[in-house]
Amino acid sequence: MGTKEDLRQERLLKEYEISFQYASHHATIIWQTASIFLSVSLAGLAYFSASRPDNWISLAGRVVIYLGAIIMIEGWFSLFRRWNGFLALGFYRMVEVEKTLGEMFLARYGDYLRRSKLESSNDDLVTSKTDLKKLSLLPENPRFKDFPRSPQRWVVRRICFLLDIGWLVLFILDILTITSS
């Protein structure tokens, strides 16, 4: 029978595993739905940009589709933000468990890379000077060289914005086509 400390560490490791699965699940949902919704939107843009409406009735049908596409993109982005919050919650708990256990650095290193120099001067990710030394040496470790540092929320927002603009441009082109004929 293990000691209380062994049992506590085992529970923390189990919680870490569950938090990792929770975060991974939400990351998977985000990118699976992105591949569906954003691909459908791009395909729709390609399809509708290949032809122009020839009367006001066909324009009305297109406008309904354009608005539906914009609503779909913005709805997906709202879901993305919510799921991204759940993802962050899983990683937050992983960081807490890592700080408690002391020798784990996966989630803590991710947070360490994302913080500015000003924020990291009073860093709550480290529990000791040894932790700070290990965290600062990790960028030189080849396993961590390609750690993703780009803010995905900013990138996703821009992609959604560009798709929305694409649908609006199609709408304007269709109106110009109808009014000029």
Q: How confident is the chain (181 residues) per 10-residue block, as mean pLDDT?
A: 80 87 90 94 95 91 95 94 83 79 66 53 56 58 46 85 96 93 75
pLDDT at 152: 77
pLDDT at 37: 94
Residue indicated by tokens 């595993």: 17
Who contacts 103 (Cβ-Cβ below 8 Å, separation ≥6)? Answer: none
Tell me the backbone φ, ψ of residue 122, rounded to 5 degrees: -115, 75
How far CA 72 is from CA of 43, 76, 77, 78, 163, in Å, comes to: 14, 6, 9, 10, 11
pLDDT at 139: 52
Rounded distance, CA 154 to CA 31, Å? 15
pTM of the model: 0.71
Domain ranges of the chain: 9-180
pLDDT at 58: 92
pLDDT at 148: 43
Tell me the backbone φ, ψ of residue 146, rounded to 5 degrees: -100, 25
Question: For residue 67, what are its two tokens?
Answer: 């608005």
Instruction: Quickly count: other Cβ atoms within 10 Å of residue 112's Cβ.
Output: 21
Rounded distance, CA 9 to CA 95, Å? 15
Rounded distance, CA 113 to CA 180, Å? 55
pLDDT at 49: 93
Rounded distance, CA 159 to CA 82, Å? 17
Residue 115 CA, distance from chain mean position: 17
How far CA 85 is from CA of 3, 26, 73, 91, 160, in Å, comes to: 36, 9, 18, 10, 18
pLDDT at 176: 93
pLDDT at 158: 93
pLDDT at 149: 44
pLDDT at 172: 95
Which one, of 105, 114, 139, 111, lies nearest residue 124 by Cα?
Answer: 111
